[in-house]
Amino acid sequence: MAEPTAVVDEGASEEIHERAERPTPTDEVAAALVAKFVGSIFHDSHGQAVVYADRSQMADIATYLRDEEQFTTCLDVTAVDHLTDAERLAVPGVTPERFELVANFISHARNRRIRVIAQVPTSDTTVPSLTPVYAGVNFAEREVFDLYGIEFVGHPDLTRILMPDDWSGYPLRKDDAPARVPVTFKEDPGPRVDGAA
Amino acid sequence: MSGGLNETERLSRQTDEGAQVLKASHDLVVTGTVWPELEGDGETMIINMGPQHPSTHGVLRVMMELDGETVVRAKPVIGYLHTGMEKTGEQLTYVQGCTNVTRMDYASPIANEIVFSMAVEQLLDVEVPERSIWIRMMLAELSRIASHLLFQASNGMDIGAVSMMLYGWREREETLRVLEMITGLRMNHNFVRPGGVAADLPDGWQQAVLELCDKVELGIEDYDTLLTGNPIWIERTVGVGVITTEQALALGVTGPILRSTGFAWDLRKAQPYLAYDKVDFDVIYTQNGDCFDRYRIRLTEIAESIKIVRQCVEMMPPGDYRVQDKKITPPPRERIDQSMEALIHHFKLFTEGFRVPAGETYASVESPRGEVGCYIVSDGTGKPTRMHVRAPSFYNLQSMGPMMEDRLVADAVAVISSVDPILGEVDR
């Protein structure tokens, strides 16, 4: 998803050209999302409907999915760090950023799923929280905050969930190397000193 | 219960034609923050249950604000078993990946192996042979039986029916013995792998599996006699830990907990994977959403799983147990002794693994605890960029708060037990 400023820079003709090569959504919910939210792009990922959207729209998209499209549950919220990718899936029209926020929704009534992905740049890792819309993503957003350092604005309890409270760094980031913190072992007990006192 | 509908309203919604048109409740708050001050009238106190409490199934800690013996609020605190398995998943090749995911939900490892393998197969765009699909399905159901038997055992002991621990373990041990015969290990099998399964079924598997089915069937009759009509059991579980469909859906709760609220949702029926559309079984659901219903559902699901296993034995197709794609399948053992190329092929596959085209996918299956999902992002190399497992227990834990509120501490034990969390997959 292009940043709003980038769209202005490119000029109208290029934007039209870009639109032409975007795939038409084969999924009705994705089509509705693409039509309603400016800048969102449909992608068919192994037969699954995926919509790339601007991160500022995430909460609005979730509200729309819940209230208009009967998507009763947000199954999962997670993130991806693309820092060290050898090769990255190129979706036309999407400006790749380092982090991706991934949310999976399911509609039980319509028996379908949809995945919404938002690009999150290193410079500003804030996204609107989905907790006001789906209470169940509370833990998941805390986990993403804990492991990736992505901040969810409007989350009622944005604290570390898996790591200790005083931990510094975000373990699932690619530049947070494993074994950065050395494992400390207790020293061998020294020889017993008898009659020292 | 905040935000929930009352009982009659919920039931009427379930019975009319638009039953599935439900909206998430809007004012549900799962947890507060670290509770700087008490909410009660000055008579309350905060007590930690766990992480070393015997009824918390491992290392779960539940923070409770108590007014006397009544729970005002409850908040699960997790992370005591966090071992960075998702980070580890990024260091392992796709061949090794199964050894990692199988250790997450250690009570039903096969479900995790299947979902991981399915995600990798989607990225690779390979179709696995029919026989491997049926082997996977049979093992998944055996694993579900073992997991639900574990639940029956521990749930019984938590609530005070201590002999259930022995009975449940008796049948579970038999199930694990059959799983060991087929996969080589009692738990953490690493048997389902991208491209199929690790080996063909051993000689005499039909007899072993059918004998097991008979034993477990006798077992669940025992439990039924022991518990279902037992007045103490009913007193401890009926009406305890009630959750509504709206709450469950809003909280992302899946599996037996969701089904206990009157919402018949099972991925095996709703979005069939493997060969679940070719076998005959029922989705078990009840209306009351309490601990007793969750016990009944899991007990009856054992019987349904036995039904599926019997059909698997009957309908097991012949053929290959793994895909004959040299990119992902190692050469047969005999070839390695005869051919240098086969030896190199084998060596490369197990040291470097195979490359998976760049892309992302989400696969999901119905584990004994609910929807377990696997989100894999590949960057075209032999190791995933991201391997995330959507653990059902992780989400189901959030339902503890609403279930425990305004109930006694003793009921909290019943609630923890009936959520049936596996902390290995909660913390990953």
Mean pLDDT of A19-33: 73
Among B249, B259, B271, the strongest candidate for a mutation testing the A interface, having the largest count of A CBs within 10 A, is B249
How far is Cα B111 from Cα B369, in angstroms, rounded to an integer? Answer: 10
Mean pLDDT of A28-37: 84
CB contact under 8 A, B390 and A104: yes
Q: Which of B267, B324, B256, B329 is nearest to B289 (CA)?
A: B256
- pLDDT tens, residue by residue, A53-89: 988 889 999 999 988 888 889 999 999 999 888 888 8
CB contact under 8 A, A160 and B361: no
Q: Residue A7: its pLDDT value, please? A: 41
Closest chain A residue to B375, measured at CA: A78
Q: Residue B328: its pLDDT value, please? A: 85
Main-chain phi, psi angles of B72, to 5 degrees: -85, -50
Q: Residue B176: its pLDDT value, please? A: 93
Do B64 and B285 meet the contact criterion of CB atoms below 8 Å apart? no
Domain ranges of chain A: 4-136
Closest chain B residue to A77, measured at CA: B390
CB contact under 8 A, B361 and A78: no
Q: Residue A28: its pLDDT value, please? A: 83
B371 touches chain A (CB under 8 A): yes
CB contact under 8 A, A74 and B398: no
Q: Please report the domains of chain B, with CATH numbers, ordered by start residue.
A: 96-395 (1.10.645.10)
CB contact under 8 A, A75 and B390: yes
Among A138, A147, A150, A172, the strongest candidate for a mutation testing the B interface, having the largest count of B CBs within 10 A, is A138
Q: Which of B186, B210, B184 is nearest to B199 (CA)?
A: B184
Q: Which of A144, A148, A118, A147 is nearest to A131 (CA)?
A: A144
A19 touches chain B (CB under 8 A): no
Q: Residue B39: its pLDDT value, please? A: 58
Q: What angle do CA B35, B41, B47 make, to 5 degrees?
A: 45
Main-chain phi, psi angles of A83, to 5 degrees: -55, -45
Question: Which structure tokens are listed for B108?
Answer: 């039903």
- Give me chain A's average pLDDT, please: 81
CB contact under 8 A, B22 and A48: no
Task: Report the side by side order of strands in the sheet with B70-77.
Answer: B45-49, B61-67, B70-77
B125 touches chain A (CB under 8 A): yes
Residues 305-324 (B) with a CB less than 8 A from some CB of A: none
CB contact under 8 A, A66 and B23: yes
Among B17, B369, B386, the strongest candidate for a mutation testing the A interface, having the largest count of A CBs within 10 A, is B386
Question: Which structure tokens are listed for B112?
Answer: 């995790």
B6 touches chain A (CB under 8 A): no
B36 touches chain A (CB under 8 A): no
CB contact under 8 A, A108 and B263: yes
B285 touches chain A (CB under 8 A): no
Do B417 and B100 meet the contact criterion of CB atoms below 8 Å apart? no
> How many residues in total does chain B contain?
428
Measured between beta carbons, the chain B residues lying within 8 angstroms of A75 are 252, 254, 364, 371, 373, 390, 395
Do B188 and B198 meet the contact criterion of CB atoms below 8 Å apart? no
Q: Residue A35: its pLDDT value, please? A: 84
Residues 162-191 (A) with a CB less than 8 A from some CB of B: 162-164, 171-172, 178
Mean pLDDT of A136-152: 91
SS3 B360: strand
Q: Residue B209: its pLDDT value, please? A: 93
Angle between helices B205-223 and B291-315 (to 10 degrees): 160
Measured between beta carbons, the chain A residues lying within 8 angstroms of B423 are none
Residues 381-400 (B) with a CB less than 8 A from some CB of A: 381, 385-386, 388, 390, 394-395, 397-398
Nearest Cα of chain A lies from the Cα of B414 at a distance, in angstroms, of 22
Main-chain phi, psi angles of B86, to 5 degrees: -70, -35
| pLDDT at residue A181 is higher than 70 | no
Do B312 and B279 meet the contact criterion of CB atoms below 8 Å apart? yes
Displacement of CA A159 from its chain's centroid (Å): 17
Res. A178 pLDDT band, cuts 50 70 90 = low
> Could you state, in chain order, the average pLDDT of each consecutive group of 10 residues for chain B (428 residues)?
38 37 36 49 74 76 84 85 89 90 90 93 91 93 93 90 90 93 90 90 92 92 88 88 88 91 88 90 87 90 92 91 86 86 88 89 92 92 91 90 86 89 88
A96 touches chain B (CB under 8 A): no
CB contact under 8 A, B385 and A85: yes
DSSP conformation class of B323: -
Q: Residue B38: its pLDDT value, please? A: 58
B83 touches chain A (CB under 8 A): no
Measured between beta carbons, the chain B residues lying within 8 angstroms of A72 are 22-24, 249-250
How far is Cα A61 from Cα A102, in angstroms, rounded to an integer? Answer: 13
How far is Cα B26 from Cα A114, in angstroms, rounded to an integer? Answer: 21
Q: Residue A140: its pLDDT value, please? A: 92
Largest Cα separation within chain A, whole Å, is 92
CB contact under 8 A, B251 and A89: no
* Element spanning B76, H or E: strand B70-77
A157 touches chain B (CB under 8 A): yes
A17-26, A141-150, B21-30, B196-205: least confidently modelled range: B21-30
Q: Residue B361: its pLDDT value, please? A: 93
Among B1, B126, B251, the strongest candidate for a mutation testing the A interface, having the largest count of A CBs within 10 A, is B251
Residues 40-69 (A) with a CB less than 8 A from some CB of B: 45-48, 50, 66-67
A136-145, A157-166, B197-206, B268-277: least confidently modelled range: A157-166
Beta-bridged to residue A61, according to DSSP, are: none
The CATH number, out of the four listed (1.10.260.40, 3.30.460.80, 3.30.110.70, 3.30.70.260), of the domain defined by the range A4-136: 3.30.460.80
